[in-house]
Amino acid sequence: MNLTRILSIVFLLAALAVGYLLYKGIDDAMQEEKRIARIEARVIEKLQMLREAQMAYIAENKEYAGSWQELKDFIKNGQIHIVQKTEETKLLDYGEEEITISYDTLGAVNVQDSLFNERKYPDFNLQTLNVVPGSGGKTFEFFADKIERGSNNMVIDVFEIRDPAPVNPERRANNNEKALKVGSRTDASTSGNWE
């Protein structure tokens, strides 16, 4: 075997090794992105569930739940009242309309049966509702309070539920500044930052 043939085989093996390492590096990065996307989708689903629970809580109690225990107790034992709204429009003599709105409470349904039924969330587990998916057992940061806004110091209810340890490195930047969250500590918002 001459030197040219030996070098050709060595370079061929080296090229195959470099090609495999490039493929493996790209494949690993793509798999990591898919893993992060799957975990974030589960986190977003939980945040949407928690938003629904807080919205139902404020509708019934005129303020947001102040703790995980309050929110879980409401989901387990609370009820949502079914209200029928009817409007009656009466035409007055001078061409104006008079609208009379009446509300009738038809009954109530259990919060868990209404918002988190098996058809909508087949794997719903109240005990782990506050646990962040893919975090190893960490719970969402929970904040609920009343704040004053505007020049007339109007008091508004606010809440924020936030992922304390994002799996996405981009969301961990600047002390988890872009962590997935729903609500706001400073505004009357129920939006999620993924929307």
pLDDT value for 179:
84
pLDDT per position as a tens digit, 62-104: 899 988 899 999 998 888 888 888 888 888 877 788 888 888 8
Q: What is the pTM of this model?
A: 0.77
* DSSP state, residue 151: T
Mark 119-156 as b/e (b = at least 16 C-beta within 10 Å). eeeeeeeeeebbebbbbeeeebbbbbeeeeeeeeeeee
pLDDT value for 48: 92
pLDDT at 161: 92
According to the model, what pLDDT value does residue 3 have? 83
Length of the chain: 195
pLDDT reading at 175 higher than 80: no
